[in-house]
Structure 1
């Protein structure tokens, strides 16, 4: 079972200079939960949804794909918005968000993986309880901790102000997925592979960098792999990184590499297994990029895409 903690919101997506906007359910952690559910995984999302039309739209979107919404996720505030402006298919964001979950309960005993990141770990006051949960679960050692910084510069201020908390969370995680764009903002001028190696040395078993059209770099204690991007007809990049995360975590589950007792096996994953997992995650992201919004594939769609490439 997966537990995902973090924001669910509505993406208002429009072309730069245009007057038409389309509402898509979104939010980085919610997108990861959606992707995991569509790939056939049991997943619970701990979030905050307003009791409004946008909140009902997000809830229905997630539950229709099999995501279980935690019972404490209803809030009094309005559902948060991310205004995504597209230029050549690439999204930039402006946010209208409030984030506060209050105290968080320990994970259920059946949970094998906790995923979080993005605004949930960055915005006060809600980031405090999320970070506390990660620290407690790291100490308990029963579940794999997955983290994606998914930085939003418009909400974080200067990189120097965000970096200490991000590095702290990296050190608590077992699996870290990060984009090269995030790393360029956090570490200007520093090679992303150097950052990945430094992050790995701080605690994780696996660090993966997504590079858009340049593919993927993944590093463990004994392996470094580089994979090309999957060729696609790009529609937009909304939710691409989150889809990759869901594909990555799904692949780790299918390889029996999740859960605290499997941490050493994860750190020692062999090259063939890691390549298979990374390639599948890349395909999940590519399918998402081939259609509008954060709309990750089902297991059947993913299998069909691989069959077409065979």
Structure 2
């Protein structure tokens, strides 16, 4: 089972009309999406976050339960649910404006950290919950406590509208690097964090710090995997793009699901990851992300969806 840590929220898609805006509310949040994506890919997932007792929070809990996500680690909070207003650019890429100060997902304290048993093989974290307080410091403490016993996966998934200071994002990555085994980052986030940096050289520096697998996703160009053995590129898939909301989360869920299925979520197994296995894992994740791009919103694929897509190809 994979424990996913981070925010659960509502994305409000705003479409301008002659008289104002039409709002389409969708459940979301990057870690929430990853947990759902794992479950849809038949990989057991648990979710650790603060869930509000308000209307939106109850709906989030219900949605997670209906997807089969284990909620024994979720913490009930009498605080509002984070709301994110999403607008789409001409290319379908999302722009977010978050309303989350004092929200339930941010209020995780050190005392809320769960005791984990042997059913948890890996921990995934990312997005702004790894940075805002008090949840950021709390989750960092969990990672430091557990990294010697379980694989740690991290996707910065930066949100400048929540934290604009890139130095704070870089500082958190530095704090995590000695404890993270799998680091996935988009090319866009990489450029925002390290303008002009050579991605291969940067990935190599992470590997030297102890990261076993670094992955850079680059939209239609595909994904680049880096291990101690070198670099591997898997090309993207051509699809009719509805939007790209949730594509990175879909890739992340599929990456972890494929690795879990192959028994690779062990630090020693990751160190020995070969090129053929990595190619298959990245191809599976690219396929999952492409399916999500063909749908509106963060509608992540099931294992049956992927099997059907692969059969057509």
- TM-score of the two chains, using structure 1 as the length reference: 0.94
Matches within 5 A, 1:174-253: 174-253=181-260
Aligned to 1:65: 67
Aligned to 2:139: 130
Residues 116-152 of structure 1 show CA distances to partners (whole Å, capped at 9, x for unaligned) of: 11111110111111000000012xx221111111011
**2:282 pairs with one of 278, 282, 297:** 278
Q: Give distance in 1, aligned partners of 2:292 and 2:213.
A: 24
Cα RMSD after superposing both structures: 1.5
Match status 1:166 vs 2:168: no
Unaligned runs of 5+ residues in structure 1 are: none
Q: Is the 8 A contact 2:7 2:32 kept in 1?
A: yes
Q: Give distance in 2, aligned partners of 1:110 and 1:85.
A: 39
Matches within 5 A, 1:251-270: 251-258=258-265, 262-270=266-274
Q: Give distance in 2, aligned partners of 1:107 and 1:16.
A: 46
Matches within 5 A, 1:142-161: 142-161=149-168
Question: Per the alignment, do residues 15 and 282 of structure 1 end up closer, same or farther by CA in structure 2, a change over 3 Å counting?
Answer: farther
Give the CA deviation at 1:16: 6.9
SS in structure 1 of the partner of residue 203 of structure 2: helix
Question: Per the alignment, do residues 264 and 84 of structure 1 end up closer, same or farther by CA in structure 2, a change over 3 Å counting?
Answer: same
Aligned to 2:295: 291
Q: Give distance in 1, aligned partners of 2:168 and 2:41.
A: 36
Match status 1:115 vs 2:117: no
Give the CA deviation at 1:230: 1.0
Match status 1:20 vs 2:29: no
Residues 223-269 of structure 1 show CA distances to partners (whole Å, capped at 9, x for unaligned) of: 310111111110111111111000000011111101xxx31221221
- TM-score of the two chains, using structure 2 as the length reference: 0.93
Q: Give distance in 1, aligned partners of 2:89 and 2:22.
A: 14
Q: Is the 8 A contact 1:35 1:247 kept in 2?
A: yes
Question: Per the alignment, do residues 75 and 229 of structure 1 end up closer, same or farther by CA in structure 2, a change over 3 Å counting?
Answer: same
Q: Is the 8 A contact 2:242 2:296 kept in 1?
A: yes
Q: Give distance in 2, aligned partners of 1:166 and 1:127.
A: 12
Structure 1 segments, 4+ long, off by >4 Å, are 15-18
Match status 1:308 vs 2:291: no
Q: Give distance in 1, aligned partners of 2:211 and 2:179.
A: 7
Q: Give distance in 2, aligned partners of 1:268 and 1:198.
A: 18
SS in structure 1 of the partner of residue 240 of structure 2: coil
Unaligned runs of 5+ residues in structure 2 are: none
Residues 88-110 of structure 1 show CA distances to partners (whole Å, capped at 9, x for unaligned) of: 21101111113021220232221
Q: Give distance in 1, aligned partners of 2:238 and 2:178.
A: 33
